[in-house]
C-alpha cells in the first residue's frame, strides 16, 4: 500500500545550520505515528517541514516529501495553501501559532471553512459547536464570541485542535496537542482524535512527551535524537524491546507512580552545526564502544517487522 505521507532522506537547515539529517519515515492512512525525543531534537522542525511552514530561515536541503503522491517540496504556494486546512491539518506546539490573536474565534472558524468551500451557515455553526463540545468545550457560543486571549491555555489548545479537525483532514500533524490539558480533559481529547481517525481514516503524526498518550494512542513510534530518527517501529516492539540505547534511556526516564526510580540521561546532545565523529549519542551512551566515537556508519540496523535503529549493536 502506498503511504499517505512519505518522507525520504530529508535534510533541513535553519540559516545554513543542519538540523534534520537523513530523516526517512512513512505514514499510512488511518495510522498514528508518535514522534518522541528530547527537547531540541527536531520534532517540530520535522512537522513544519511537512506542512511547508519552516519560515524564512528554514530550508529543505535534500530529500523527498510526498503527500498522497503530491511533491510537497516543489508544490506551488497557492496549491499548498489549498491543501493546508482541508487535506492537511496542523495543531502547532503553541496554540497561539494556530490562531489570530485579534480575531474572534468564531470568525476564524468561518474563515477556515469558507476558504475551502461553500457551507450552509446554520450547518457550519452546528458542526463547529459539535466539534467544540466533543473536545469538552461545552460553552461553545461564548467561545466563538471570544478572542484567544480571553480563554485559558487549555481551552485555546482544544480550540486549535477543533480548528485543525473541522474539515476532517486526511493527515493531521499535531505538535504536543495535549500538553496544556489536565489528565481528564486530555483523555477526552485523545479519544476524540482517535474517533476522527476511526471515522475518517485520518493519518496522524503526533509529537508528544507524554508516554501515556504514546502507549494508548499510537501505532508506530519514531524516536528522534539530535535531528535524526534513531529508532522506528511498531509501538510494542519499540516500547518492549527498545534497541537504541537512547530509546532505552528514554523509557527508563518515564515517571512511575510506584516502582522503579526515574533515571535521567546525563550529558547533552551535540550542538547543531558542530561536527562530531560517529554516533551523536555516543558521549552519553553507557554501552558505547570505541568504534561509536569514531567513523561509524549510521545505517539502519533492521530487527524485522519494520523495526530498525541507527545503533549497529542494539540493546538486547
Ligand X SMILES: Nc1ncnc2c1ncn2[C@@H]1O[C@H](COP(=O)(O)OP(=O)(O)OP(=O)(O)O)[C@@H](O)[C@H]1O
Smallest gap from Cβ 206 to ligand X, in A, equals 12
Smallest gap from Cβ 204 to Mg ion, in A, equals 16
Cell numbers given for 207: 509529537
**Contact flag: residue 42 with ligand X (CB under 6 A):** yes
**Contact flag: residue 39 with ligand X (CB under 6 A):** yes
Smallest gap from Cβ 149 to Mg ion, in A, equals 23
Cell numbers given for 224: 528522534
String marking each residue 202-221 x if it binds ligand X according to CB under 6 A: --------------------
Q: First and final CA of the chain: distance in angstroms?
A: 31
Q: By CB under 6 A, what part of segment 74-113 binds ligand X? A: 93
Cell numbers given for 42: 527536531
Q: Indicate which single residue of 24, 44, 146, 215 sits in contact with ligand X (rule: CB under 6 A).
A: 44
Q: Indicate which single residue of 30, 40, 212, 300 sits in contact with ligand X (rule: CB under 6 A).
A: 40
Q: Indicate which single residue of 21, 41, 108, 156 sits in contact with ligand X (rule: CB under 6 A).
A: 41
Q: Indicate which single residue of 272, 283, 289, 300 sits in contact with ligand X (rule: CB under 6 A).
A: 272
90 binds, among ligand X, Mg ion, none (CB under 5 to 8 A by kind): none
**Which residue, 36 or 144, has its beta carbon nearer to Mg ion?**
36
What strands, in cross-sheet order, belong to the sheet with 301-302? 88-91, 171-175, 203-207, 32-37, 220-225, 228-234, 308-309, 301-302
Nearest to 55 by CA among 14, 99, 97, 98: 14
What strands, in cross-sheet order, belong to the sheet with 58-67? 17-27, 5-14, 58-67, 70-71
Q: Indicate which single residue of 1, 16, 55, 256 sits in contact with ligand X (rule: CB under 6 A).
A: 55
In contact, 194 and 218? CB cutoff 8 Å: no
Instruction: List CB contacts of 137: < 8 A, sequence separation 6 or more.
Output: 143, 155, 158, 159, 162
In contact, 10 and 24? CB cutoff 8 Å: yes
Contacting range for ligand X; rule: CB under 6 A; set: 37-45, 156-164, 212-220, 278-286:
37-45
**CA angle at 225 for the pair 248 and 31, rounded to the nearest 5°:** 80
**Which residue, 16 or 117, has its beta carbon nearer to ligand X?**
16
Residue with cell 494556530: 98
Nearest to 60 by CA among 9, 5, 10, 7: 10
Contacting range for ligand X; rule: CB under 6 A; set: 25-33, 52-60, 119-127, 246-254:
52-60
Query: CA-CA distance, 299 to 45, in Å (whole number)?
Result: 22
Residue with cell 461564548: 142
Smallest gap from Cβ 225 to ligand X, in A, equals 10
39 binds, among Mg ion, ligand X, none (CB under 5 to 8 A by kind): ligand X
**Contact flag: residue 16 with ligand X (CB under 6 A):** no
**Contact flag: residue 300 with ligand X (CB under 6 A):** no
**Contact flag: residue 18 with ligand X (CB under 6 A):** no
Binding footprint of ligand X on the chain (CB under 6 A): 14, 19, 37, 39-45, 55, 57-58, 93, 272
Amino acid at each position: 500500500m502506498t503511504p499517505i505521507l512519505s518522507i525520504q532522506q530529508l535534510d533541513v537547515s535553519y540559516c545554513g545550520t543542519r538540523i534534520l539529517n537523513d530523516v526517512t519515515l512513512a505514514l499510512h492512512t488511518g495510522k498514528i505515528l508518535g514522534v518522541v525525543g528530547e527537547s531540541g531534537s527536531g520534532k517540530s522542525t520535522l512537522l513544519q517541514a511537512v506542512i511547508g511552514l519552516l519560515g524564512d530561515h528554514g530550508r529543505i536541503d535534500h530529500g523527498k516529501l510526498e503527500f498522497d503522491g503530491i511533491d510537497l517540496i516543489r508544490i506551488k504556494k497557492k496549491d499548498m495553501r489549498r491543501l493546508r486546512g482541508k487535506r492537511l491539518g496542523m495543531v502547532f506546539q503553541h496554540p497561539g501559532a494556530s490562531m489570530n490573536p485579534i480575531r474572534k474565534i468564531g470568525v476564524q472558524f468561518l474563515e477556515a471553512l469558507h476558504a475551502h468551500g461553500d457551507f450552509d451557515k446554520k450547518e457550519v455553526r452546528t458542526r463547529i459547536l459539535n466539534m467544540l463540545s466533543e473536545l469538552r468545550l461545552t460553552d461553545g457560543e461564548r467561545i466563538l464570541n471570544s478572542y484567544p486571549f480571553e480563554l485559558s491555555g487549555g481551552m485555546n489548545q482544544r480550540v486549535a485542535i477543533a480548528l485543525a479537525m473541522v474539515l476532517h483532514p486526511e493527515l493531521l500533524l499535531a505538535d504536543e496537542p495535549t500538553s496544556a490539558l489536565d489528565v481528564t480533559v486530555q483523555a477526552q481529547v485523545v479519544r476524540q482524535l482517535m474517533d476522527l481517525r476511526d471515522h475518517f481514516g485520518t493519518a496522524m503524526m503526533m509529537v508528544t512527551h507524554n508516554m501515556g498518550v504514546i502507549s494508548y494512542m499510537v501505532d508506530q513510534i519514531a524516536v528522534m535524537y539530535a535531528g535524526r530518527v534513531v529508532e522506528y517501529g511498531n509501538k510494542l516492539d519499540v516500547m518492549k524491546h527498545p534497541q537504541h540505547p537512547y530509546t532505552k534511556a528514554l523509557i527508563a526516564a518515564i515517571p512511575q507512580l510506584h516502582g522503579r526510580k526515574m533515571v535521567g540521561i546525563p550529558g547533552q546532545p551535540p550542538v547543531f552545526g558542530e561536527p562530531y565523529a560517529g554516533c551523536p549519542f555516543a558521549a552519553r551512551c553507557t554501552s558505547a564502544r570505541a568504534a561509536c566515537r569514531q567513523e561509524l556508519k549510521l545505517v539502519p540496523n533492521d530487527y524485522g517487522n519494520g523495526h530498525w535503529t541507527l545503533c549497529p549493536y542494539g540493546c538486547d
